[in-house]
Amino acid sequence: MLRGKSERRSQGTMKYMLILAAVLLIAAVVIYHVTRPSFPAIAVTAAKVDNTIVIEVTAGEIAANEWQYSVSDTSGSYNWADGAEALYSPSVSLGTYAAGI
């Protein structure tokens, strides 16, 4: 079976279109990964020891004044404060609070 010029030309065009689609897809993935926001990876748990709140850091760290916390005994009522200490392993104390909070 012989192929005409028109059929070969359309196959060549299709190859270029597929290559262009692949290049655009790769470029989109690269741009997404370069421009996405980067948040610090950290794992913490909170514990109450007597009237002191302790944040136990199991992985990662955040510099002082780069994180915030809120202590409240009322659901939905938040007063955010900057973390004055660096948040790093093994733990950071938020200070002593009145009983019941």
Contacts with 77 (C-beta within 8 Å, 6 or more apart), sequence order: none
Q: Please give the chain's pLDDT, 101 residues, in tens.
A: 555 566 667 777 888 889 899 999 999 998 887 887 777 678 888 888 887 788 888 887 788 888 888 877 777 778 888 888 888 788 787 776 666 55
Could you count the other beta carbons within 10 Å of the beta carbon of residue 62?
18
Q: What is the pTM of this model?
A: 0.50
pLDDT for 24: 92
Residue 48, SS3 per DSSP:
strand
Q: What pLDDT is stored for residue 23 in this prediction?
A: 92
